[in-house]
Structure 1
């Protein structure tokens, strides 16, 4: 399967062997990343962004890649994450297919794709890989660590496993543990992929790709990324203009169905199915309660970070806003000056990617309140 690496990506070679939390190790592995702004002489103005499941490291345009990034309205000169002040790094998660080593990468021992021989992936592994990038750039302490969605999990693991790595943290629509509803959705996504005959136990190629399974998995995900309120306001019960085909009596009839189909078709063949399986399962396994004798609040309280902000959307059903409240409360118990903000956004989990009118000011105000770097 092909990897999808944005132009202008940079790469950090991970320590070899790179040990994995649940056993096994990687040899010759790497992490893709991109940067914006200028690192201060004392390296005190660095911000690290760790991402959700599907984004690459191209969060915003820059000279080496002028294409619009996935967080373009948030990051750049004069924006909420102002690159006139901050040196920003965005890493592509270990296990992905967007430049970092993952199941779609070539195993140097066999010269074949890892596929299902890739070691079991954990959120802690993605955190340790990101920590290596920061150390390699000569950054002893981040001014701020920002994590979105799955990246919110990665950020918490990074703070816990590498004490003192950041002076501040912004957790956006993240969580300290996977909840049953989220696990159930991701389980169905994995089942849809694995039941596609073309998946073939993970041994597919471009000519024999589990397209139906990936389409269904992506549709399930998109449904949970937005809220019922937005679905209703955006599509209502509007039907497609074309009449129902007699030879397909249960085909697409409503505009919302057409939207999901179009979104899914744009995603398939642009993300590796085995990577999707590995990264979704890593989220399901994540639980800071492991570090607090089964108590997630005790696990959070072990994190030491001076300043923190946890924000989310009140309509989020995948990472409910009470999980961001829990993060703020837990970090506060560990001594942080921690704030929580629940946004009245109708756009659910994806609000931080689209509702910049609400999310940008919150991020800007928090960063502006930090000591000058």
Structure 2
């Protein structure tokens, strides 16, 4: 398999060896990143964005790559994350296949792809790598750290493992730990990939790619990224036209089935299956309660204590009422926990019908919330 590196991507080398939380180390590893705007003379206007599982570092168009990015409507001149005022960095997660070192990369020690020889990956490893990028760019303190979805987990890990690196925080549809429903969904996604004969214990190539497993994994994901309310509003029970219907027994019959199939097919050859497995499992393992300094029978209390040990000045936790993957109570938990640690912390529940993916598409609701918080940081 080949890596999927967008044009204009830049790289920063990680320390070698780079120790991993669950054991082992990486040698000659690197992190892909892109930037927008200019760092001011005081070097105090930097924002770091850490992402969900699948995005690359290309969050928006820039000089290195004019193509629209995955958060194009949110980031850029005059947009909610305004690059006329902020120096914005977006990193591709450690373990991904979009320019950062991961299972699809070549192990410099063996000269072969890492595949399943890549060390066990944790969210904390991604946080440590992102923190290294910030410091390598000469930034001592971030004005704000923004994390979406899995990036919300990464952001919390960065804050607790690198105290003082970020003054303020926006957590968007994130979580301080994985809940059973989310673990169950991701477990099924991983099983779909592993049971595809073409996966071959991670030793596939472009000619023998576990396409069926990846398609099923992506479909399961997309179903949970949106809400039942949106599926009903967009598709209802509309059937395919007779000339578009799948003629296979029990094949595609409804518009919603066709949508999922098309979405999955566009994704499967653009993401490495082993990277998907590693990143997915890293989320299941994450639990900020591990940092509370004691083991309690009540995991809720452990998580609250872990969050309360984080020190930031201001924080905003945004969630969506229709999110079933990272449900709203998880963002409320973040806001309340950071407040217990002394932060000026707010919880903002939004009524978007678009579920977990709302932060990507419902800019009309998310944009003003993010813009307002950042304006406060600038004293406006």
CA distance in 1 between partners of 2:184 and 2:324 (Å): 12
1:242, distance to aligned residue in structure 2 (A): 1.9
CA distance in 2 between partners of 1:194 and 1:82 (Å): 42
* Contact 2:315–2:346, Cα closer than 8 Å, also in 1: yes
CA distance in 2 between partners of 1:275 and 1:153 (Å): 18
Partner residue, 2:330: 323
Partner residue, 1:291: 291
* Residue 351 of structure 2 corresponds to residue 344 of structure 1: yes
* Contact 2:312–2:343, Cα closer than 8 Å, also in 1: yes
SS in 2 for 1:305: coil
1:215, distance to aligned residue in structure 2 (A): 0.1
* Residue 330 of structure 2 corresponds to residue 305 of structure 1: no
* Residue 130 of structure 2 corresponds to residue 130 of structure 1: yes
Equivalent residue pairs, number? 373
* Contact 1:244–1:251, Cα closer than 8 Å, also in 2: no
Partner residue, 2:373: 366
Give the TM-score taking structure 1 as reference length: 0.99
Partner residue, 1:239: 239
How large is the Cα RMSD of the aligned pairs? 1.2
CA distance in 1 between partners of 2:142 and 2:312 (Å): 11
Change in CA separation of 1:237 and 1:370 when aligned onto 2, cut-off 3 Å: same
What are the equivalent positions in structure 2 for 1:47-66 lying under 5 Å apart?
A: 47-66=47-66
CA distance in 1 between partners of 2:125 and 2:363 (Å): 30
Partner residue, 1:170: 170
SS in 1 for 2:274: helix
* Structure 2 residues without counterparts, runs of 5 or longer: 296-301
Change in CA separation of 1:297 and 1:209 when aligned onto 2, cut-off 3 Å: same
1:371, distance to aligned residue in structure 2 (A): 3.9
1:249, distance to aligned residue in structure 2 (A): 2.1
SS in 2 for 1:64: coil
* Contact 1:152–1:175, Cα closer than 8 Å, also in 2: yes
SS in 2 for 1:112: coil
* Contact 1:80–1:364, Cα closer than 8 Å, also in 2: yes
SS in 1 for 2:34: strand
Provide, for residues 18-61 of structure 1, a one-character-per-residue CA deviation record: whole Å limited to 9, x for no partner: 00000000000000000000001111000000000000000000
CA distance in 2 between partners of 1:366 and 1:263 (Å): 33
Partner residue, 2:30: 30
Change in CA separation of 1:229 and 1:355 when aligned onto 2, cut-off 3 Å: same
CA distance in 2 between partners of 1:363 and 1:162 (Å): 23
CA distance in 2 between partners of 1:207 and 1:248 (Å): 25
1:63, distance to aligned residue in structure 2 (A): 1.2
Provide, for residues 128-178 of structure 1, a one-character-per-residue CA deviation record: whole Å limited to 9, x for no partner: 000000000000000000000000000000000000011100000000000
What are the equivalent positions in structure 2 for 1:1-373 lying under 5 Å apart?
A: 1-242=1-242, 248-292=248-292, 293-294=294-295, 295-371=302-378
Change in CA separation of 1:46 and 1:244 when aligned onto 2, cut-off 3 Å: closer
CA distance in 1 between partners of 2:282 and 2:309 (Å): 21
Instruction: Report runs of 4+ in structure 1 exceeding 3 Å deviation.
Output: 243-247
CA distance in 2 between partners of 1:162 and 1:371 (Å): 23
CA distance in 2 between partners of 1:244 and 1:175 (Å): 41
* Contact 2:246–2:253, Cα closer than 8 Å, also in 1: no
1:244, distance to aligned residue in structure 2 (A): 8.5
